[in-house]
Structure 1
Amino acid sequence: MRILEGKSVLVAGVTMNTSIGYRIAELAAEQGATVLVSNFGRALSLTRRIIKRLDPEPVLLEVDVTNEEHLAGLADQLRQHVDHLDGVVHSIAFANPETAMGGKFLTTPADDVKTAIHVSAYSLVSLTMACRPLMGPGGSIVGLTFDARQSWPVYDWMGVAKSALESTSRYLARYLGPDGIRSNIVAAGPLETIAKKAIPGSEEFNNIWGRRAPLGWDPKDLDPTAKAVVALLSDWFPSTTGEMLHVDGGLHSTGA
């Protein structure tokens, strides 16, 4: 029995085949889920080409999480393809790499900070509530973070936004729990995705993990993170919510 058999899952934020969202969508389908993916704007055509590699090819929806019209119409878009939604994967983040990351923390304009928090954290709530009409007991929301309980070199305002994302997930767990809907976060180690490559100086993360992760860490291997997300989407964690699950080779557990 595949662990997502009969479930419908939206993976928001699939761009490249090297993105974690893509591997989650692929693995979710392998585990029996009906998968829908989303992106928006100029990236939509890229996503459309990339998902043709998946079997079966998932439905592609245009969803800009900062666009109120897109969010208001999302439930109706979903209903054209599925009659219920069991899981939502939030694989969405953005901060201007030229002003909000790379050591520019002290001089980042307020508007760029607002954008980072809106896209990377508040969207967890707005996307969840847009999907809420199709979700019922047993539903699962899963977000992705780079453990923001401490500061990291060059991560700057994206780290602040991820900290807000982690807290947002805990509040979703509080407010959606009575409806039987879980909300959790997977904290992955550094992965060689398009998002990581956009961060100035991000190669330093690989150096840190190479020295300190007890289990070791392969930044090109997306499977451990994707498997954790799929497990949280399944019924195998029925009483787990408000949690941050680390998939980082154990680095979070170490000191100096």
Structure 2
Amino acid sequence: MPEHRLFLLRHGEGAWNKENRFCSWVDQKLSEDGVKEAQECGRLLKEMGCQFDMVFTSILSRSVQTAWQVLEVMGLEWVPVVKSWRLNERHYGALIGLNRAEMALNHGEERVKLWRRSYDVTPPPIDESHPFFTEIYNDRRYNSCDIPKENLPRAESLKDVLDRLLPYWDNIIAPEIKRGKTVLLSAHGNSCRALLKHLEGISDSDIAGVTLPTGVPILLELDGDLRPVKPRQLLGDQAKIQAAIKKVEDQGKAKPGGK
């Protein structure tokens, strides 16, 4: 029997999700559809009788806004929300702001898939000439990180995401779950994938096949050592979930003009 339940949630659709651009550490609000996704997620969880004791988010607005919308719909606005850069989306380096489909057209679908889905391939790093470098690294939200701002990443593989996430999981989140608290982690596609890889023991090659749609809650039932006792459950209408997964996977396919 499971001793603990953990809910993972990739934020609702952001403006750049809609435009099929690598968003990464650029701060984007939820789109109108993204707000609806988060609210629908909250309604689903409320109907299931879920209750949360703590919520963890990244320090990017789309992650935080998603948590707010879910909690408001559930009538749980009072639940503590704890934010950390260690739950941020993967840093896509020089790819930030680029259209995935146009990149696939120019560099090939396999190369883009490696950049997006592989475990240990790192995209080209961002540098000071990049149009979004200043917006990211002059943002004062990173002044309060637990490492010096100059040591923040310039690009990350999924392995790098897991490496910076694990200390936060081990030292901050996991102890709360072991104390009996039910936790919602409202984060990003890659920070959630990295944590799933760790918890479920997914191989370096198989993680490439794990795709998470926006706004779909994932239930993990865990034992006392926080290991899954049954397969993860993507909650909601399964036909819609599969269609949403295919939509995410198709983002990296070559389409002239990125349309």
TM tier, smaller? 0.3 to 0.5
TM-score by length of 2: 0.38
Higher relative contact order (CA 8 A, sep 6+): 2
TM-score by length of 1: 0.39
